[in-house]
Homo-oligomer: A and B are copies of this chain.
Amino acid sequence: MKKVSKRIGLVEIYTGDGKGKTTAALGLAFRALGHGIRTYIGQFMKGYSYGEVKALKFVKPYIKIEKYGKKGFIHVKKEPEREDIELARKGLEKAKKALYSGKYGIVILDEAITALFFNLLKIDDLIDFIRNKPKEVELVLTGRYAPQRLIEEADLVTEMKEIKHPYRKGVKARKGIEF
């Protein structure tokens, strides 16, 4: 494994209503492994196994994914349940361990911003996470509805904007492509 300490790690945010946020984070991890950099991905609000998890066997030990949500928990429509809040909080703790482990050049908090929107995470906890990251680690947060306070903490922010989406035409999420 290459030393990651020569680089300065930034804080990146991928937000917006368009497709490509999680996917871009995965691509980042894939590209980094070519340089011998390891990535930790913590996924909030996701319990199911997706294609990316099945792909991990190819890229050991460079990419590690941990899912923090419970199976079947994907979208919150009303107030979050205590169990889900607890899972998200524990997830952030796990991510913190990865962040300080010295093992990873990139740490991705996938859907952390969505979890924030649904009151599963507190913004102060996320900002605390960001401000206390080791300076050499690249930190990536994804999810819709990034609030201004979070954007201010980031170095790089991209909004994925939906221009056209086939769901509107009735095409469902497809295995191998969307998940």
Interface residues of A (CB under 8 A from B): 2, 7-8, 10, 12-16, 18-20, 22-35, 37, 50-56, 58-59, 62, 105-106, 138, 151, 154-166, 169, 171, 174-177, 179
Contact = CB atoms under 8 A, between A and B. Distances in A.
Looking at chain A's contact residues, the main secondary structure is: mixed
18 contacts: A7-B177, A8-B174, A13-B163, A20-B160, A23-B28, A23-B31, A27-B28, A31-B55, A31-B176, A34-B50, A34-B51, A34-B53, A35-B54, A154-B164, A155-B164, A155-B169, A156-B165, A156-B166
Copies in the complex: 2
A22 to B, nearest CB: 7
A156 B23 contact: no
Given A31-B50, A50-B31, A161 B158 contact: yes
A83 B54 CA distance: 42
Given A20-B160, A171-B10, A55 B28 contact: no
Given A157-B164, A160-B20, A164-B156, A26 B30 contact: yes
